[in-house]
Amino acid sequence: MPFRSFFTATLACVLATLSTGGKCFCSPAQQADAPPGFRQLLEKLASFSPDPCGPPFGPMPDSSDLESSAFYKAEEIMTEDLNALAATPRSPLERATETLRRLQRMSAEINASWPEDDRFRFEVLDLPPVLVVKVGLRTHETFFVFGGPEGKSGNAKRVWHGASSIEGIVDRNVPHTSLELHPLHRGPSQRARFLASFGYMGCAGSTGVAYSAHEWNPEGNGDLEQIIKQAGSFGLDNEVHGFAQIGEFRAEGSSINLPYCWFSPIDTWDNPSLCAIDRYDLSGDQVRFLSHTYNRPDLVPVAKAIEYAEQRDFPAVLGYCASSQVARTLVSEYPPFFFAGDIRVTHTGTGKERVELGWERKYRFDVENRAGRWLVVAFSAR
């Protein structure tokens, strides 16, 4: 129990004793219920629909706190079992798998009314000296990383411990999160690396993606470091006329490709138009960003100039314009929020285009490719 809670409970007991003249038999353990175990959490979740977007229809109470508690309780149980003295020699992977199967059987019993894919599930990625464990429950999936004593001699006190956190990667209140784990190329120092690729979506509409790569730092007791972070979106059907997606996902080898799209002011409906693929070099101990490649580099300066004009950020707008005059006009005249709804692109010459956005009030951008870079060279509104 935290010191503050202990102090509060003790003080309340002393005051009660002074006022009644009785004896104080209070103890902090009596002041608060013990946290629920994994079985109790599964039993509480059993009353929920396996899918927050499925039947029974209508508003459903939020269960994200219960699911998070179940995941962290599973992490706690795994840590204890990894550090327990085994009667027979077994590898960490075997011990972890046995523990997870026990939790899986418990969920199969308690959550028997749910489809099998919605009950507690797991996957273990063995990356000595760490285990990366993916766990799922209902429509949410996450991961934990366990670092242990292997790979570091002369430290008998070193024990297995959980060392990961996904805070800030994906909103845990999103109705659906899925996860794929990929081992990554190790640099010269041979530190374990992996990529967590999250997909997330609401009950309808477009989907999101979040890439988070991590490296195990064996210094001290060992810790996890994030080395790549990239978020994006994908549309309902990933088919926007004139805006084909670009590149293929790749996590093997010394360079990786991460494709994604994002919503921008030039979109015409609930599908992001602009997409990119980011390349990273993993050959060294220091991960290096290599490049963005866009599906429509001619329209990127229009989208970016609008985005920053809405924020009245003149220096940022200027970065996508050929002159300060064009940038000042955009910052002073563009509305605070804009959704294209309609876009028309006309080729006006070699490396030159006219881009018209909107219906009732139209915004016109002239863009040119200058020395391999597209810039906004003129803007008008009518």
pLDDT tens, position by position, 126-163:
999 999 999 999 999 999 999 976 544 444 445 888 87
Confidence of residue 220 (pLDDT cuts 50, 70, 90): confident
- Place 56 in a pLDDT band, splitting at 50, 70 and 90: low
Q: Which residue(s) pair with 159 in the sheet?
A: none
Element (H, E) at 303: helix 300-310
Average pLDDT of the residues in 264-284: 93
- Tell me how far CA of residue 287 lies from CA of 126, 183, 199, 219, in angstroms: 22, 15, 23, 18
**Within a domain: 167:** yes
Claim to verify: residue 67 and residue 157 sit in the same structural domain? yes
Name the residue type at position 280.
Answer: Y
Which phi-psi region, left, alpha or beta, contains residue 341 (left: φ > 0; alpha: ψ -120 to 50)? left
- Choice between 49 and 375, residue whose per-residue pLDDT is larger: 375
Tell me the mean pLDDT in the region 174-201.
94
Question: Could you tell me if 176 and 202 lie in one domain?
Answer: yes
Q: Do 276 and 322 lie in a common domain? A: no
CA–CA dist 327, 366 (Å, integer): 13
User: So what's the pLDDT on residue 162?
Assistant: 84
Are 162 and 245 contained in the same domain?
yes
Question: What's the structural domain count of the chain?
Answer: 2
358 found inside a domain = yes
CA distances in angstroms from 28 to 16, 22, 31, listed in the order given:
15, 18, 5
Residues 236 and 347 occupy one common structural domain? no
Let me know whether 247 and 333 are in one domain: no
CA dihedral 135, 138, 141, 142 (to 10 degrees): -60
pLDDT at 329 over 50: yes
Contact 256, 250 (CB under 8 A): yes
* pLDDT over 70 (residue 382): yes
| Predicted local distance difference test score (pLDDT) of residue 183 | 98
Assess whether 218 and 116 both reside in one domain.
yes
| Same domain (yes/no): 275, 333 | no
What are the C-alpha distances in Å from 377 to residues 99, 206, 307, 318?
63, 33, 17, 11
What confidence tier does 34 reach under pLDDT thresholds 50, 70, 90? low
Q: How confident is the model at residue 38 (pLDDT cuts 50, 70, 90)?
A: very high
**Whether residue 172 has pLDDT greater than 90:** no
- Cβ proximity of 177 and 140 under 8 Å: yes
Q: Are residues 274 and 349 in the same domain?
A: no
Co-location of 170 and 223 in the same domain? yes
Q: Which domain holds residue 248?
A: 59-294
Contact of 261 with 287, CB cutoff 8 Å? no
